Amino acid sequence: MFDCRHTAPGRSLKVINLMRAALEEAWAQLEHEVQQRTSKVALAKRILRAASAGERAPARLRAAALGNVGILYH
């Protein structure tokens, strides 16, 4: 999981905001039917995994979130 203990406070807040935005944008891309059978928590976990591996690009964080979802998004 994402460990912000070794990150400067201002930087960890920036990363948290990036992850939060990526989650909300990824969720908004999903069709309602897919949202009904997908866990937002599962998307968040995928984003956390990508961020803990060093990913910071918003598009890549969103892609990580949507990677295994039966993708029907707009």
**pLDDT over 70 (residue 9):** no
pTM: predicted TM-score of the whole model, two decimal places: 0.79
pLDDT digits (tens, 9 = 90+) for 14-41: 999 999 999 999 999 999 999 999 999 9
**pLDDT over 60 (residue 67):** yes
**pLDDT over 80 (residue 6):** no
Contacts of 23 (CB under 8 A, 6+ apart): 40, 43, 44, 47, 65
Compute the distance between CA of residue 23 and CA of residue 17 in angstroms, rounded to an integer: 10
Q: What is the mean pLDDT of residues 3-7?
A: 56
